[in-house]
Structure 1
Amino acid sequence: MLPTIITSIIITILLLLTLIPLITSTNLLSRKSSSPFECGFDPFQTNRMVFSLQFFLIAVIFLVFDVEITILLPTPILLNKIPPTNFLPTFTLIMAILVVGLIYEWNKGALSWAL
C-alpha cells in the first residue's frame, strides 16, 4: 500500500515538473538567450577581436600560483609523516623556484596592471 502511494506521488511530481515549463513557456529560444556566453565576448560581433595579452599573462600566473597552493596544502600533514631532513630540502626547492619565477615575472612587468 505504502509503496504504491509513494510511487504515485513521485509520478505526479514528475508529471508536474515536466508539464509546468510547457504550459508557462515563453519565447525561450531567442538568438541571444540560446547562444553561449564566453569570457564577456559578444558572439554576434566579428570573430577577429583583439585578445588581451595582459589577460592571458594574468591567467597563466593565476594557474601557476593555484598549482602552488595545491602543492603546499598538504604541508602540515607531511611534516608529521616525513622527517624534516627529507622534507625541508624539497620544500625549499619548490619555494625557491616559485620565488624566482615571481621575481622574473615582476621584472618583465607582467604583474603591472597599467595599460
Structure 2
Amino acid sequence: MKSILLMSILTMTIMLFLIMLSFMLSKKIKYDKEKNSPIECGMNPISLTRIPFSMQFFLLAIIFIIFDIEIAILMPIPIMMFYNIFISFFMVLIFLIILMLGLFYEWYNNALNWAI
C-alpha cells in the first residue's frame, strides 16, 4: 500500500516539475504580427483572405457526416438483438425511417444534385 502511495506522489511530483519547467522555458509572446495574420505562413496577403466556398462541398460534407454517424449508430444492433429482438427491431426500423425521410427531404430540395 505504501509503494502505491509513494509511486503516485513521485509521479505527481515529476509531472508538476515538468509542467513548471515547460512554463518557464517557453517563449510566450502575446502579440505576434505574423501569428495573428489571416494567412498561416506569415506572408502578407495580396488578394482577399477569404476564398468563396462552394455550397456543394459543404452539402456533400454534411451528407457524409450524417451517413457516417448512421453507421456508428447501426453498429451495435447485432448485440442488441440478443437481448430483446422486438424492441431492437422497432428501434432500428424507426431510426431507418427517420433517416430515409431526411434523405427524401434532401432529394426533394435538390441538395443531392451536384450541378445546380
Shorter-normalised TM-score: what interval?
0.5 to 0.7
Structure 2 unmatched runs, 5+: 1-39
Number of the residue aligned with 1:83: 84
The count of corresponding residues between Structure 1 and Structure 2 is 74
Instruction: Note the alpha carbon deviations across 1:22-78, whole angstroms, 9 max, x for none.
Output: xxxxxxxxxxxx84xxxxxxx875213211111111111111111000000111121
Which runs of 4 or more aligned residues in structure 1 lie more than 3 Å from their structure 2 counterparts after TM superposition? none
Q: Does 1:61 align with 2:63?
A: yes
Which has the higher relative contact order, 1 or 2, with Cα contacts under 8 A spaced 6 or more apart? 1
Q: Given the superposition, is the C-alpha separation of residues 44 and 63 from structure 1 closer, same or farther in structure 2, using an over 3 Å criterion?
A: farther
Task: Name the TM-score, length of structure 1 as normaliser.
Answer: 0.57
Q: Given the superposition, is the C-alpha separation of residues 85 and 44 from structure 1 closer, same or farther in structure 2, using an over 3 Å criterion?
A: farther
What is the distance in 2 between the residues matched to 1:103 and 1:45?
A: 41
Task: Name the TM-score, length of structure 2 as normaliser.
Answer: 0.57
Number of the residue aligned with 1:112: 113
What is the distance in 1 between the residues matched to 2:97 and 2:55?
A: 27
1:1-115 to 2 correspondences below 5 Å: 35=41, 45-80=47-82, 82-115=83-116
Q: How much has 1:83 moved relative to structure 2? A: 1.3
What's the secondary structure of 2:112's corresponding residue? coil
What is the distance in 2 between the residues matched to 1:66 and 1:113?
A: 20
Aligned-residue RMSD, C-alpha: 1.9
Amino acid at match of 2:114: W
